[in-house]
Structure 1
Amino acid sequence: MKHSIRFEYESHYFLSHEATFEEKEIWLVMHGYGQLAEFFVRKFKSFFSPEVLFIAPEGTNYNYLEGFQGRVGANWMTKHERETAIANNHRLLDKLVGTYLEKYPVKPKIHVLGFSQGAATATRWASQWDRKIDSLVLWAGGFALDLDLEQARGKFADTELILALGDRDEMITSEHIQKQEELISCLRKDVLRYTYPGGHDLDPELLEKIINQNY
């Protein structure tokens, strides 16, 4: 018979700088499948500022990217024990962001950017978190298809929702786009859409536009 047990677990994350707790903005940036937070946060280096803290959590599941040796990547979940992984992600992100926020005398604005697999993970977590999120950026990914729509409608009522897709992204199919449009329609919420010339990666020019418009 199957049983489960909870135990203390250590997870890793990376910062743009050591927090002063005087920052006006926090960006929680969530990597995609097979990436590591250490390298993902570097993609935002040109936006590092004393007034903005970037926090890059790392998925707690790891695998070799090719075969049984070499480069290792992290992921937020697989189909195996999926619900357990989702619950673990929520506890991790609740604890991480909450630990920082409680030290701010003046609460900063909170922005969340999820890339690829990190996008669906971000929407699941953000829709159940107990604090306001000012903007949610879904890049080369989208809303989790199993999102609790009623809960999400209420949670995202005052959140700016942004969707960014490359016009040559081999990972984004027409079926994916159709399902996302159907879900967005059910959300009954305006979503700001951007398309950029490129594939499955962050576009520096569009990234600058999105981050700067939220300062």
Structure 2
Amino acid sequence: MKKSISFQFQAQYSVSHEPTFQEKEIWLVLHGYGQLAEFFIRKFQGFDSDDLLFVAPEGTNYGYLNGFSGRVGANWMTKHEREIAIQNNHNYLDLLMESLLSQFQEKPKINLLGFSQGAATATRWASRWSGQVDQLVLWAGGFAQDMVLEDARDKFSDTKLTLVLGDKDEFITPESIEIQQELTKNLGQEVKKLTFAGGHEIDVKMLSKILDSSN
């Protein structure tokens, strides 16, 4: 007979600098499958400033990337106990944002970027978070297929939505593009689509354009 128990859990996250809580914007950036937050946030470090804070939560599931030793990566979920992992992600991100925002006297602009597996995780969380995301960027990924559309339509009604893909991304298939087209159609909102010359990666030039346009 299988049962479950809830307990206090410790999770890791990385920041681009020690927060002053005077920043004008927060970028919550969710890494992809098999990555670690401390390395993922380096992609954004060059854009760090007094007014801009990047926060990279780390998925709480870990595994060796090859075999039984060597490099370790994190992920947001696997097919095993998937629904529990999704709920744990929601609880984790809720608490992290509550902890950060409670220390600001003036609410900062909230931007959310999800890369690869982190894109689906970002849409699931943001579509049911009690707060409001001002800008949502889905990079090398897209809206979660199991996202509740009714919730998403309401939550994202005032959110700037952007999809970013590399033209040589080996993980993007015609089928996945078709699924995203159907999802965005059903969402019924404008979604900006950007393409850069490259693969399954964060392109610095494209990132710079997105960050410039958010100011």
TM-score bracket for this pair, using the shorter chain length? over 0.9
Whether 1:64 and 2:77 are equivalent positions in the alignment is no
Q: Which amino acid aligns with 1:114?
A: G
CA RMSD of aligned residues (A): 0.4
1:93 aligns to what?
93
CA distance in 1, matches of 2:98, 2:163: 26
Matched residue type, 1:200: H
Shift of 1:67: 0.4
Shift in Å, 1:112: 0.2
Shift of 1:132: 1.1
Once residues 129 and 9 of structure 2 are traced to their aligned partners in structure 1, the CA distance between those partners, rounded to angstroms, is 21
- The ranges of structure 1 where at least 4 consecutive aligned residues each deviate by more than 3 angstroms after the TM superposition are none
Q: What is the rounded CA distance, in whole Å, between the counterparts of 2:211 and 2:120 in structure 1?
A: 20
Following the alignment from structure 1 to structure 2, what is the Cα–Cα distance between the partners of residues 61 and 147?
Answer: 21
Tell me the amino acid that sits aligned with residue 12 of structure 2.
Answer: H
1:153 corresponds to:
153
TM-score by length of 2: 0.99
| Cα deviation code 1:16-52 (max 9, x no counterpart) | 1111110000000000000000000000011000111
> How many residues end up aligned between the 2 structures?
215
Shift of 1:196: 0.5
Secondary structure at the aligned position of 1:33 is classed as: coil
Q: How far did residue 212 of structure 1 move?
A: 1.3
- What amino acid is aligned across from residue 48 of structure 2 in structure 1? F
How far apart are residue 113 of structure 1 and its match? 0.2
**Structure 1 length-normalised TM:** 0.99
Determine the C-alpha separation between the residues in 2 that align with 1:146 and 1:100.
28
1:17-28 equivalences under 5 Å are 17-28=17-28
Per the alignment, in what secondary structure is the counterpart of residue 44 of structure 2? helix
Which SS does the other structure have where 1:112 is aligned?
strand
Matched, 1:113 2:113: yes
- Quote the offset at 1:95 in angstroms: 0.3
Give the whole-Å Cα distance in 1 for the aligned partners of 2:52 and 2:139.
20
Is 2:99 aligned against 1:123? no
Shift of 1:201: 0.1
SS of the aligned residue for 1:128 comes to: coil
What is the CA–CA distance in structure 2 between the aligned matches of 1:88 and 1:34, rounded to whole Å? 18
Residues 62-108 of structure 1 show CA distances to partners (whole Å, capped at 9, x for unaligned) of 00000000000000000000000000000000000110101111000
Uncovered stretches (5+) of structure 1, i.e. residues with no partner: none
Instruction: Give identity over the alignment, percent.
Output: 61
Residues 143-166 of structure 1: CA distance to partner in whole angstroms, max 9, x if unpaired? 000010011000000000000001
Q: What aligned pairs does 1:29-44 form with structure 2 within 5 A after superposition?
A: 29-44=29-44
5+ residue gaps, structure 2, are none
